[in-house]
Amino acid sequence: MNTFVSPRFGMSRRRRAVSLLAAAALTSGALAATAAPASAVTTCKPGFAPAVTYRTANMSLYTATADFNGDHRTDVVAYGPSGTAEVLLGKGDGTFRPAVIAGSASAVMTVPSVGSVNSDDDNTVDVITVDPVGGAVRVFPGNGDGTFATAISTPAMANVFSAVPGDFNADGRLDVLVTDNGNTSSIMLGEGDGTFQAPVGTGFTGYSYLAGVDDFDGDGDDDVAFADGGPGGSSAVQVILSNGDGSFGPAAPYAVGTGPVLALPADFNNDHEVDLITVGMSDGVVLLGKGDGTFQDALPYTGNNAMVWPTLGDYDGDGRTDVAFASPTGGSLLLGKGNGAFQAPVTFKAPTSGGMMASGRFNADSKSDLVVPSMSSSGVSVLLAGCGTPAAPKPAVKPKPAVKLKWKTKVKLEKPKLKEIKKVRGGGVK
Ligand SMILES: [Ca+2]
Ligand SMILES: [Ca+2]
Ligand SMILES: [Ca+2]
Ligand SMILES: [Ca+2]
């Protein structure tokens, strides 16, 4: 199996309120734009502008996005085998300041996430990763200015492979679910100071490469999905619901075909219930969530998704979740139809890296952009979403009446908290 990882993509109900606010603004803008022109409407084929590459001091394998200096502009962090975390502060117009080494550690870091693990200081975003050599979870505490304090390590387990953050006991402190790229998965409850309690097994005995974490049943604690497609695996997505105290219930299997490697949470049909998308060695499926911790039958999709890194976003700005895959020859874009299905894949040019790209909104438009590590040239490349190859103009259409936003009341009731914003992981639907 290739190094094939992704950070957590989903958001809990509380956190989803934040994205819904953004979606409301996005949708309103789209409707206004539709209503304005009376003559022919020129459309364009979705895609990305040519990549702009920023040099980094070290080779990067992974990227993640967050606002590391609190200026409400999306920044990029790049990591690589050197153990350094380099931050590129975003200017908000799609460009970035030069990369600076924001933190370093002695060993290789893998599978990074971003979140706020220090409950006393919600204004900073930290980087959460693992040290597989030392068998530890490693946190780079953010200083709030784009740099990080000295890394904090907590012993985890031998050959720890991933640490996916979530709040599994609903105490407001970020915990991590650690795996060893084998059959061991454990929970480490957060102490709120960048350290974690000793690992306790989840009880799941299948293959656990990387956890998909979100609140699948809406009870306030984060739940877990594993793509059990590894050696000797069941070729199923296994869902384990949190008991709210750091323990989990029995695994519920969902048949998804052969070889799922990841099960990523996101909302693909805009019903505000968490769904799952699998990514694997061949094609994948979407499991639409029912909101009670169970999922509908698998909806298969076809994509150029063999041995590539996925990230989720809304790259055409229509309010529907899309998927972008890095591939050995560039990238592939699957635009969501808003019902769990996707349009035919569209290829786009991207640096051939094999590293983990991430999504973020780097400029002021309504579309998610991409950042791709350029392993060969020690840099990261930014791809701003926009028009790819221009398509033929469409005939004028009569403007549709404004769509009634059913969830408006719910959004008003839920006050997004800064801390919850900070918990959105790099590579999420941004
Ligand atoms: Ca917790
Ligand atoms: Ca739950
Ligand atoms: Ca859904
Ligand atoms: Ca979309």
Residues 113, 222: Cα–Cα separation, whole Å? 16
Q: Return the closest-CA partner of residue 326 out of 343, 346, 309.
A: 309
- Please provide residue 153's backbone torsions phi and psi, each rounded to the nearest 5 degrees: -110, 140
Give the single-character DSSP code of 242: B
The residues, any chain, with a CB within 8 Å of residue 185's CB and separated by 6 or more, are 177, 178, 179, 201, 202, 204, 208, 211, 224, 226
CA of 334 to the centre of ligand 4 (A): 9
Distance (angstroms) between ligand 2 centre and the Cα of 205 equals: 20
Task: Name the pTM for this structure.
Answer: 0.80
Residue 245's pLDDT band, with cuts at 50, 70 and 90, is very high
For residue 140, how far is its CA from the centre of ligand 3 (angstroms)? 33
Q: How far apart are CA 365 and CA 383, in angstroms?
A: 13
CA of 249 to the centre of ligand 2 (A): 11
The most confident of the ranges 35-49, 83-97, 109-123, 227-241 is 83-97
- Ligand nearest to the CA of residue 10, numbered in listed order: 3
Q: Distance, CA 267 to ligand 3 centroid (Å)?
A: 4
Task: Please give the distance, rounded to the nearest whole angstrom, from the Cα atom of residue 342 to the centre of ligand 2.
Answer: 28
Query: How far apart (Å, rounded) are the C-alpha atoms in residues 125 and 117?
Result: 8
- Closest-lying ligand to the alpha carbon of 217? 2
Ligand whose nearest atom lies closest to the CA of 244: 2
The per-residue pLDDT for range 342-383, each reduced to its tens digit, is: 999 888 888 866 678 899 999 999 999 999 987 777 899 999
What is the 301 CA–ligand 4 centroid distance (Å)?
16
Give per-residue pLDDT as tens, 18-74: 222 222 222 222 222 333 333 344 566 789 999 999 999 998 888 999 999 999 999
Six-digit token string for 391: 């398509």
| Ligand 4 centre distance from Cα of residue 105 (Å) | 38
> For the ranges 1-15, 184-198, 218-232, which has the lowest average pLDDT?
1-15
DSSP-derived secondary structure for 160-195: --EEEEE-SS-SSS-EEEEE-SBS-EEEE-B-SBS-
Q: Residues 398-425: pLDDT tens digits?
A: 544 443 333 222 223 233 333 333 333 3
